[in-house]
Structure 1
Amino acid sequence: MSESNFIDYVKFCSRSGAGGAGSAHFRREKHVPKGGPDGGDGGRGGHIILKGNAQLWTLLHLKYKKHVIAESGKGGEGGKRKGANGQDVILEVPIGTVAREAETGQVRCEITENGQEYILTQGGRGGLGNDHFKTATNQAPRYAQPGGEGIEEWIILELKLLADVGLVGFPNAGKSTLLSSISAARPEIGHYPFTTLVPHLGVVSYRDDRSFVMADIPGIIEGAAEGRGLGLRFLRHIERNSILLFLIPADAEHIGNQYRILLNELKKYNPELLDKKRLLAVSKSDMLDEELMDELKTEIPKDLPFLFISSVTGYHLNELKDMIWKALQE
């Protein structure tokens, strides 16, 4: 998928249909000059509905929909005939889409399953016909209920990728190279920061026809939680990952310090991210000998599972898969 086609944020005006008015009609037949009330109910207004679709990976198809408007319900008729309901508008969205109110930021729903439906903006109710208002003392009511108004509101849809493993690291740490080495994903790779401008997903094959999904997230820099670099734009994509795989190159100034900076940015963005299982891979390790590896091990925080790897030579990539799979089973 080209970078221009990956859209993970859209904002639009959602307007549901108004309900149809009830009918104030009286039964009139040849031999029944004064029949009772027989006004039908109005139809309800159309809803705006979100529906999960596992075949979608982006919100691109909604990018230019600035106004989504549902049909209004039809009015009731005589003979207790109910008006037709307004047609619903169904917006299909990728799994992992979050809907929130633009004005308050309040989360309305999260679409996490294929086929899951959620009424985002409810249509107005249909008005009751005069048949509902007859009583023993008022057998010929001449009024009916008007239909309920539709709702107009601004909605934000955000996509959070669903993956088993999220790659976390500074720009140019080798995340895209790793993903392309162990999966069929082909993200753009370059020797400069911010080569990756959109998240990429790759399915990693494991033993006995098993697999897991890995997400390559654009690089984090110090101050990302305050909006520096690519800021908060992509940090939300690691909220749904089961495991966070930190990738730090072997030629970094201090592996432990870089790990703590990354961890601090995640904490400032969402403290709950620190509850996830964390692993460390030291990339570009093909340039190291045993003595240098032993020296670098002293910089790595204790109790953090780690491996020295090289995506170019394949060094320890199978062991990395084993480490990830074991963590996923835990």
Structure 2
Amino acid sequence: MAIGVLIRELREARGWSQGRLAHEINSAFRTGLNREYVSRWERAKVTPGNFYLRCLSAVLDVPLAVLEGEVKRRTFISDVAAVAIAPVVASDLLASGFGARLSGGPSVDEWEAKLASYGTDYMSMGAADIQRRVAGELVVVQQQLDSPRLWSVASRLMTLYAKTFPGSDGSKAVSWYRMAARAADEAGDEQVRVWVRGRAAIALGYEGASLGVADVLADQAMAISDKPSLGLLNAIMGKAHAAALRGDVATARSLTDRGRRVFDKAASYEQTSDYAVPWWRMNVFVSLLAARLGDETTAVEAQEAAHRNLPASLPRFATHLEMHRGLMLSRSGDKQGGTDYARAALDALPPEKHSLTLRLLMAEVQGS
């Protein structure tokens, strides 16, 4: 992607005009930049130098590497190390990376088995543990990025890693989602390209964070392919949540109807994987969406349908549903009652089962 296009996408994702971006850079760095100069960047008339790349990195909350070009194997390790070394012992990461390079690392089939295992683990484990484990896997897989299938593996691992950060922390979650999308493009697999973007969109939309980025990634997924798939379903429902949070009721409902039609053709039979969207999980999406829209009838119907099919091994999602009821109460005018209801549901879940998404949902209930 040309640097000008990337600057425009990042600016628009924040809802900023060219003048606003110039103002933010001037405020932070006293540069004297004006709107016309930003326009020239975006039209590829001028390429920002190293100084302005650093200004853009700081103001737009994205790693400098993202602005400097596509994710390639030679730069991938520095991007991973910047955020992955903190939760893991650095010497262990280095040993794993060099060991993988010397031994050839896991086969593609072994990587696919690892991904399947992480898809299941994510549904029941805490974010911190998943983050630590996936950080180590990213350091290993970066040593093997010499085939499209391994770029596919890396893109899905990056998506999972991004989800261990709250979407409101745009400098981490959003940057990883963007890198995951670009890694999926390296893989060249249409289904993976759609899924990575769609999964990011529903994660951000459900969290109610970085809604502009959720829209951009959802739109990209839908532009890549309109074939019914779980990736497309996630993209549509993520965009529906973003619309609901903006108060665009008509768009949210239209997208939900479209999502239901895609679900009818692409629903999963697998019940306990993050890569799946079975009937109960679709109803979790709809439950929160309806609660945000103030449609209590639809919300309650979705909650009851989800409860009937929700596996007992996934208590965290039962907590989601109860907290949606708290949001409904809060939105109906009983803010204290809604907050107390949601807090009781969250407190009933063992702390090690808590997720970043649940904490953001608690904040939404309190702020309604």
Which protein is richer in helix relative to its size? 2
The structure that has the greater radius of gyration is: 1
Which protein is richer in strand relative to its size? 1
Give the TM-score normalised by structure 1. Answer: 0.31
